[in-house]
């Protein structure tokens, strides 16, 4: 979220420290199981596909595709009284999670082109998921600076969050031949006071998600300062896919909170939202039809900038990521939605751990973490609670050069999504 390359981090005696070697395992010797994807916003938008081997490792090669538009960075602004080293331009160009999404059932990928205000659809080759084919042409996002997308479970609808001056949500029907077409009665403005490109990260719009039954669409925005709150906006989704005219706003329990992302807590109508001011928040909507939630804060000791979240169905726990400390925090919720911090895992110092995704490969759970300041993707095994272990740290530089990229700006890496073969 912020640049920590020059930051001398605080003592990390509480971290696990199991870093492992930066040398990749021989992924080229294992059969292909799927692919991992992220974007490079530099300035023509590029979409990178990495092979996932049967042992969960990535590489050794990559494929790079034109994403169908241009990229642009958000404007990093240092709030009054905050350390400039944390807020100077650095990784996290979009202030968001979910800039790349995949639907395995429909074999499709959707991503954003924030500089051209468009959204692009790709088909995924079932035999070689690193092969992507554009479907139709990129479509106008219905606003400015699209930065997060979500796809429904059937792979028939995608919704986008626009985070610029014209901000809010907009949805599209997905056609396997002609591509994306605007879905009637789904463009809903949030009217957050922003610019194009947006300034932030404070006050910026973060991510868009569906509820588990897809009857509600949520969008997240961050607070502007210590006296204002970010919030979760909720729209009811009708049977025809249209959205309620107005959204219902759910606020955190304390002013100045900055909810960054939103992830459903399985078996409930509650959500974990990473928050760099405290650690994370729990938004509890109570029942599946409620558009209003109560929210409570959970403080992670010594945390600085927790922003991204992934969940492992194998361990039953969440992984909340702090880029300033390059730490992954494992979090567990009990049956009463009481959270506990289970363990912390130190990654490569100053690597800026960002977007992440858990994929189940041959019945084993792996966490894929983008680390732009190290130009790497790290893979952790997350099969069991309190036992995340380092599998691989894959150096992206040789693979990107071999794929034809002569140069790139590592600060412009964003997103993480995975596809697994059937």
With tokens 């390359």, the residue in question is 5
The model's pLDDT over 349-363, given as tens digits with 9 standing for 90+, comes to 999 999 999 999 999
pLDDT of residue 121: 98
pLDDT of residue 211: 98
Strands 100-103 and 108-113: antiparallel
pLDDT of residue 22: 30
Residue scoring higher pLDDT (373 or 9)? 373
pLDDT of residue 17: 31
Cα(first)–Cα(last) distance of the chain, in Å?
34
Mean pLDDT, rounded, for 369-397: 97
The model's pLDDT over 40-94, given as tens digits with 9 standing for 90+, comes to 987 889 999 999 999 999 999 999 999 999 999 999 887 766 666 566 677 889 9
Average pLDDT, the chain: 91
CATH 3.40.50.720 matches 32-420: no
Mean pLDDT, rounded, for 374-382: 97
pLDDT of residue 89: 73
pLDDT of residue 25: 34
What is the residue extent of each domain of the chain?
Answer: 32-420
For CA atoms 4, 275, 143, 310, the dihedral sign is: positive
Give residues with Cβ within 8 angstroms of 196, minimum separation 6: 144, 145, 164, 165, 166
Give residues with Cβ within 8 angstroms of 13, minimum separation 6: none
Lowest mean per-residue pLDDT among 3-7, 242-246, 397-401:
3-7
The model's pLDDT over 402-418, given as tens digits with 9 standing for 90+, comes to 999 989 999 999 999 99
Q: What is the pTM of this model?
A: 0.92
Question: Could you give the percent of the chain with pLDDT greater than 90?
Answer: 84
pLDDT of residue 226: 82
The model's pLDDT over 138-148, given as tens digits with 9 standing for 90+, comes to 999 999 999 99
List the beta strands (DSSP E) in 347-412: 356-361, 364-371, 376-381, 389-395
The model's pLDDT over 283-307, given as tens digits with 9 standing for 90+, comes to 999 999 999 999 999 999 999 999 9
pLDDT exceeds 70 at position 242:
yes
The model's pLDDT over 146-195, given as tens digits with 9 standing for 90+, comes to 999 999 999 999 999 999 999 999 999 999 999 999 999 999 999 999 99
Rounded CA-CA distance 328/157 in Å is 32
Per-residue burial over 251-278, b if 16 or more Cβ lie within 10 Å, else e, is bbebebbbbbbbbbbeebbbbbbbbbbb
- Which phi and psi (to 5°) does residue 373 adopt? -70, -15
pLDDT of residue 24: 33
The model's pLDDT over 301-358, given as tens digits with 9 standing for 90+, comes to 999 999 999 999 999 999 999 999 999 999 999 999 999 999 999 999 999 999 999 9
The model's pLDDT over 11-55, given as tens digits with 9 standing for 90+, comes to 333 333 332 223 233 334 457 999 999 999 878 899 999 999 999
């Amino acid at each position: 979220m912020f640049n920590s390359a020059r930051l001398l981090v605080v003592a990390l005696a509480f971290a696990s420290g199991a870093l492992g070697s930066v040398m990749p395992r021989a992924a080229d010797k294992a059969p292909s199981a799927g692919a991992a994807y992220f974007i490079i916003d530099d300035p023509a938008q590029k979409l990178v596909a990495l092979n996932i081997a049967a042992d969960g490792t990535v590489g050794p090669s990559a494929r790079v595709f034109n994403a169908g538009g241009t990229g642009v960075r958000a404007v990093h602004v240092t709030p009054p009284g905050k350390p400039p080293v944390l807020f100077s331009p650095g990784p996290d160009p979009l202030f968001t999670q979910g800039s790349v999404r995949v639907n395995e059932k429909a074999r499709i990928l959707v991503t954003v082109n924030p500089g051209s205000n468009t959204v692009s659809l790709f088909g995924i080759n079932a035999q070689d998921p690193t092969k992507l084919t554009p479907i139709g042409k990129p479509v106008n996002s219905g606003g400015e600076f699209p930065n997060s997308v979500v796809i429904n479970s059937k792979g028939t609808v995608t919704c986008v969050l626009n985070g610029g001056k014209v901000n809010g949500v907009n949805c599209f029907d997905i056609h396997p031949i002609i591509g994306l077409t605007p879905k009637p009665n789904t463009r809903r403005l949030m009217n957050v006071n922003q610019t194009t490109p947006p300034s932030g990260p404070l006050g910026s719009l973060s991510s868009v998600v569906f509820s588990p039954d897809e009857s509600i669409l949520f969008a997240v925005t961050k607070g502007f300062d210590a006296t204002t709150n970010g919030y979760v906006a909720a729209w009811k989704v009708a049977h025809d896919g249209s959205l309620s005219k107005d959204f219902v706003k759910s606020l955190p329990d304390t002013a100045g909170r900055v909810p960054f992302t939103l992830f459903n807590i399985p078996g409930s109508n509650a959500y974990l939202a990473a928050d760099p001011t405290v650690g994370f928040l729990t938004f509890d909507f109570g029942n599946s039809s409620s558009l209003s939630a109560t929210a409570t804060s959970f403080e992670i000791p010594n945390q600085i900038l927790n922003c991204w979240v992934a969940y492992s169905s194998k361990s039953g726990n969440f992984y909340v990521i702090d880029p300033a400390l390059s730490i992954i925090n494992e979090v567990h919720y009990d049956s009463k939605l009481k959270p506990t911090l289970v363990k912390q895992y130190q990654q490569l110092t100053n690597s800026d751990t960002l977007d992440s995704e858990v994929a189940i490969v041959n019945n084993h759970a792996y966490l894929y973490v983008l680390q732009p300041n190290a130009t790497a993707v790290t893979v952790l095994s997350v099969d069991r609670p309190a036992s995340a272990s380092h599998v691989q740290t894959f150096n992206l530089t040789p693979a990107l050069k071999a794929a034809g990229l002569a140069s790139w700006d590592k600060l412009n890496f964003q997103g993480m999504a995975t596809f697994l073969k059937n």
